[in-house]
Amino acid sequence: MTDHSQSVEPLGMQQHRRGGPGRHQNLPRQHQRPQIFDNHFSPEEVSAGLSTGQLLLGQLSINKFNADEAFIGHPIGDADVLIGSRIDRNRALNDDEVAVRIKPVASWRALGFSNPCGTAAAGEHQQQQPWLTVQSVISAGQATFADLFPGVQVADQLQLQRLLQSSADPCQPLPVDRVQRVGQVVAIVNQIASRRFVGRVKPRTGEQKMDIFEPLDPRQPGCNVPRSELTAFGCSAEQLRRQIQHSAAAQSSSGGRFSIRLQRRAAQAADSAFGCSAEQLRRQIFVAELDHWAPVFFMPKARICQRLGERADGRIDIELETRVILEQLGIAESIESVPEELTAADGGVSEQEAARRRDFRDPLHYCIFTVDKAMAQDLDDAVHYRALDGGDCEVGVHIADVSHYVRPGSQVDKIARDRAVSTYLEQRTCHMLPHCLSEHLCSMKPAEDKLAFSIVW
């Protein structure tokens, strides 16, 4: 890997550093927001960085148990690269394809060391860092550079600083049981993750124009949503304002003695004026769509686009939870219309087509059956077994030949690529293919001629 400490940044790359040109550059200095995230590299800079080895390309995986941590695979395959904070994740979402720059060795994670001071102090918008860096364990005398990177001889302090400031692996193979590479996202190459989130609205206190949208999936970012948008869903901005003011007064009351009473009054006042109380709002499940995420904001701006329903305490609404699952997976319940290329498709098998295939239709020689529920309609595979002379047996597996009806690049092919798989829920199935294929043309129903791809041994 290229030694980044001696490399020259491509032309224009410097402007992407924090505080560089952005959409707020023409505002008076006193009105400019401090930049939180680095600007993303341009496609040309990403291409140049990948070709020289300065950047890595990978799919981002966020830790669902600790959303501050994310990872991408390393080309060598020895260990994942750690993206150790939301700031370093730089607005990328789980599953996005990202370009990552490896940080200097000094910032790499030192494994097997406990932090005697607990977690490191964190500034505004920064997450606390519960792990130690190579620089910190060396500075604290907990280890030497040679302890972390066996075989690397350090002659003097100058050489040590040069090694710590480099982004290249100090030795090969890298001792992945002692250190872990740490990186920073510099560009989102492919937005694979859905920008639609399922979650709840949490009102902010005071006179605010924005409230917080909290996704149910902890790997997705909290968002700012305009309070005015809740009006379309039965929760008006005025109601929220009144509810928040009363709640704030209740919380600041003397000794908290009147807190419960004031909160009840607030809820009653809101209920009498509007049809959605703050308690009801807490139970509402919404869909929000990411609108914009500028580098000067820690949270993106989103808009509420749908209300899925109300999660009542103590009971489960199967239909609501089904809508939540489908929305989180980005799956439409049904394919809206039958693609044109299937409307004239004939489910029969022509003599010409039968002549070019092996025929398994003779019931005296082949007993072909599926293993499915009695009411199943999408029978996409079947098997057969028969005894042969000499004590041997023959087994065949038959998969419905979808390729006979679906051509590469066709509308149906694009639908199948987007859906990727049929989704089986407790009370319904969301098919990968249109119903005319999955339950008719390509369903291997008894006593019907069907085309299949077969393997026999």
**DSSP assignment of 365-390, as one string?**
T--EE----TT-----EEEEEEE-GG
**Of 146, 162, 190, which residue constitutes the final position of a domain?**
190
* pLDDT of 256 strictly over 70: no
The least confident of 264-278, 324-338, 371-385 is 264-278
Is the per-residue pLDDT at 22 higher than 90?
A: no
pLDDT tens for 270-315 read 443 334 566 777 788 999 999 999 999 999 999 999 899 888 877 8
Domain CATH for 314: 2.40.50.700
What CATH number does the domain containing 170 carry? 2.40.50.690
Return d(Cα 341, Cα 345) in angstroms, integer: 7
**Structural domains of the chain, count:** 3
pLDDT interval class at 345 (50, 70, 90)? low
Contact 224, 212 (CB under 8 A): yes
DSSP string covering 181-225: -BEEEEEEEE--S-SEEEEEEEPPSSS-SEEEEEESSTTSPPEEE
Provide the pLDDT confidence category of residue 69 given band limits of 50, 70 and 90: very high
Q: What residue numbers bound the domain in which 419 lies? A: 340-456
| Domain termination residue (choose one: 160, 190, 220) | 190
Q: What is the percent of the chain where pLDDT is above 70?
A: 76
Range of weakest confidence among 115-124, 141-150, 205-214, 365-374: 115-124
CA–CA gap between residue 41 and residue 48 (Å, rounded): 10
C-alpha to C-alpha distance for 278 and 266, rounded to whole angstroms: 9
Is pLDDT above 70 for 263? Answer: no
Q: How far apart are the first and last CA of the chain?
A: 49
Q: What is the pLDDT of residue 276?
A: 57
Q: With CA atoms as reference, report the closest residue to 249 among 228, 227, 264.
A: 264
Do 106 and 239 lie in a common domain? no
Confidence band, pLDDT 50/70/90 cuts, at residue 341: low
Residues 25 and 139 in one domain: yes
Q: Same structural domain for residues 213 and 358?
A: no
Instruction: Give the model's pLDDT for residue 437.
Output: 86
pLDDT more than 90, % of the chain: 46
| Domain annotation covers residue 271 | yes
Contact 69, 62 (CB under 8 A): yes
Q: Rounded to 5 degrees, what angle do the CA atoms 16, 57, 2 make?
A: 75
Q: Give the predicted TM-score (pTM) of the model.
A: 0.73
Q: Are residues 39 and 168 in the same domain?
A: yes
**Are residues 380 and 286 both part of a single domain?**
no
* Residues pairing with 184 in the sheet: 101
Q: What is the pLDDT of residues 410-442, one digit of tens each?
A: 888 888 888 888 888 888 888 888 888 888 888
190 in Cβ contact with 207 (< 8 Å): no
Average pLDDT, the chain: 82
Let me know whether 171 and 200 are in one domain: no
Is residue 177 located within the same domain as residue 235? no
The verdict on residue 335 lying in a domain is no
